[in-house]
Amino acid sequence: MIALIALQSSAKMGAKTTGDLPRMSSITVRKLDERLKKRLRVRAAKHGRSMEDEVRAILRGATGDGDQDDLGIAVHAPEVRPAGAGPASPADTPPVATTIRSARILLIIGGGIAAYKSLDLVRRLQDRGARLRCILTRAAHHFVTPLAVGALCGERAYTDLFDPRSELDVSHIRLARDTDLIVVAPATADLIARMAGGRADDLAAAVLLATDKPILIAPAMNPHMWAAKATQRNLARLVADGVRLVGPNAGEMAERGEAGTGRMAEPLEIAAAVEAIMRRPGPLTGKRVLVTSGPTAEPIDPVRVIANRSSGKQGHAIAAAAAAAGADVVLVSGPVNLPDPPCLAVVRVETAQQMLAAVEKTLPVDVAVFAAAVADWRPRHASQSKIKKHGRAPTLELVENPDILSTIAHRKSGRPRLVIGFAAETDHVVANAQAKLAKKGCDWILANDVSPETGIMGGDANTIHVVTADGVESWPPQSKNDVARALIERIAAAFQETKR
């Protein structure tokens, strides 16, 4: 497997590495053969990682002396930790908690072809110690039977709002309340629309309306239905209402020749999202955290933008780490090619002005981390139609974008208690970061060297200097997930300090 992956990787990347971490952006797990994929899935589940992170761990292991595992591949995570960064993670895993033991989960199965995967999801959740109850919508009966679902759950599947048996033994109100979490998988476009509209016209909708428990939805539908304005509007409504989302993924659809975003997240991904929601209280429980991430894209005309090379990996990792530490997280993200981290609210924006508006709307927060690479300038006028080539290059008049970090850090009222910025520099990294700390009025700056030879832009590793009014703390090179974890630990420690 290593040979296969390394070949794909080096063919595209010219075998370029980031520190000791191979750059992984060209690897497509989906393209591995089924047998390898299955073994990779089992391994990833065993280690509580995503499949891509498992591949990263394997590749990392291939360069070290780790133990042989069941694939006959050495697995070894480089042990590089910053001083005071807390315990090392076993590998570069996204930070999610690991227990859902004894949680009561109500699984609502909607009517889509992905419903067959929900049977696997039942098993995955049970394997983690969860207790399952299931509701099937009428449409779901076309894809899975109440008998099969009931047999797996060890309790009959609920199907009908006016089923006298349901009302006698478990009413829809009790179904809604006697649970720790409701998972809707697959969440079809129709079910999402009915949730957003507050309908109660069948058992699933009535329970979703009546519940006071967290709801996680795993959308699954045709890519056109997913991209439809109505679906996105309904989804934005649900996210604003606090509903959490896992997936959908990009890939091939059930219909031949159809591909795009709309595949339901894999049962293991849904189970990981459930674990993250069900985690024990963490060091940031009760804290509200805002993270900006990714680039902004400033329109020149309907097809062209001014943007930058930010991948959003560091910002997304920070948001995921904060959520795993128990915080209530809002991630305001520019256009990125990354899945939404589970168990947090994501607000998608395009431009710096939209990002500022979304940030201001999210306040008040306890902590704000500004990891986005905001475009410094935007065209004064974006053309409404595509600018044609007339043999002469157009002249763009640029105006400065608002400095979001500085605006929030200088707020007289409603300033977050901790405002953290980034400084991506190519020279005099620390000196420039110190100047930025003063100018922007933030509390900490995380400075990093983004010269092309460091591979930090778009890569998986980062080297950080934490610049504060008290001095400079330099962290050794480590993965962006580990940087995120270390930052969250430092934030939690800062709140502990102020409590004393």
Interacting residue ranges for ligand C5P, rule: CB under 6 A: 292, 352, 370, 372, 374, 401, 403-405, 421-423, 436
Q: Which residues are bridge partners to 347 per DSSP?
A: 332
* Min separation Cβ 314 and ligand C5P, Å: 11
Q: How far apart are CA 122 and CA 13, in angstroms?
A: 40
Q: How far apart are CA 483 and CA 467, in angstroms?
A: 15
The verdict on whether omega for the bond into residue 364 sits within 30 degrees of 0, i.e. cis, is yes
Q: How far apart are CA 158 and CA 432, in angstroms?
A: 62
Catalytic residue among 222, 234, 249, 308: 308
Angle between helices 115-127 and 146-153 (to 10 degrees): 10
* Min separation Cβ 333 and ligand C5P, Å: 12
Nearer to ligand C5P, 239 or 372 (CB): 372
Residue 397 · residue 300 · CB < 8 Å: no
Tell me the backbone φ, ψ of residue 290, rounded to 5 degrees.
-110, 135
Q: How far apart are CA 217 and CA 93, in angstroms?
A: 23
Nearer to ligand C5P, 74 or 338 (CB): 338
* Min separation Cβ 402 and ligand C5P, Å: 6
**Rg of the Cα trace of the chain?**
24
Nearer to ligand C5P, 264 or 419 (CB): 419
Q: How far is CA 6 from CA 10, 43, 52, 63, 339, in A?
A: 6, 19, 13, 12, 23
CA 382 to chain centre: 31
Nearer to ligand C5P, 221 or 368 (CB): 368
* Min separation Cβ 377 and ligand C5P, Å: 9
* Min separation Cβ 421 and ligand C5P, Å: 3
Q: Which amino acid is at 156?
A: R
* Min separation Cβ 487 and ligand C5P, Å: 13
Q: Which two tokens stand for residue 199?
A: 């309908």
Coil, strand or helix at 329: strand
Is residue 308 flagged as an active site residue? yes
Any idea what DSSP says for residue 454? G
* Min separation Cβ 446 and ligand C5P, Å: 8
Q: Which two tokens stand for residue 207?
A: 């329970």
Q: How far apart are CA 270 and CA 396, in angstroms?
A: 46
Nearer to ligand C5P, 155 or 376 (CB): 376
Nearer to ligand C5P, 243 or 446 (CB): 446
Tell me the backbone φ, ψ of residue 132, rounded to 5 degrees.
-110, 140
Residue 109 · residue 149 · CB < 8 Å: yes
Nearer to ligand C5P, 436 or 465 (CB): 436
Q: Which two tokens stand for residue 202?
A: 């069948």
The verdict on whether omega for the bond into residue 248 sits within 30 degrees of 0, i.e. cis, is yes
Q: Which residues are bridge partners to 93 per DSSP?
A: none
Sequence-ordered alpha helix ranges (H) in 228-351 = 229-240, 267-277, 313-324
Residue with tokens 């990787």: 9
Nearer to ligand C5P, 254 or 438 (CB): 438
Coil, strand or helix at 103: coil
* Min separation Cβ 294 and ligand C5P, Å: 10
Residue 242 · residue 195 · CB < 8 Å: no
Any idea what DSSP says for residue 142? G
* Min separation Cβ 193 and ligand C5P, Å: 35
CA 184 to chain centre: 18
Nearer to ligand C5P, 266 or 403 (CB): 403
| Residues carrying an active site annotation | 308
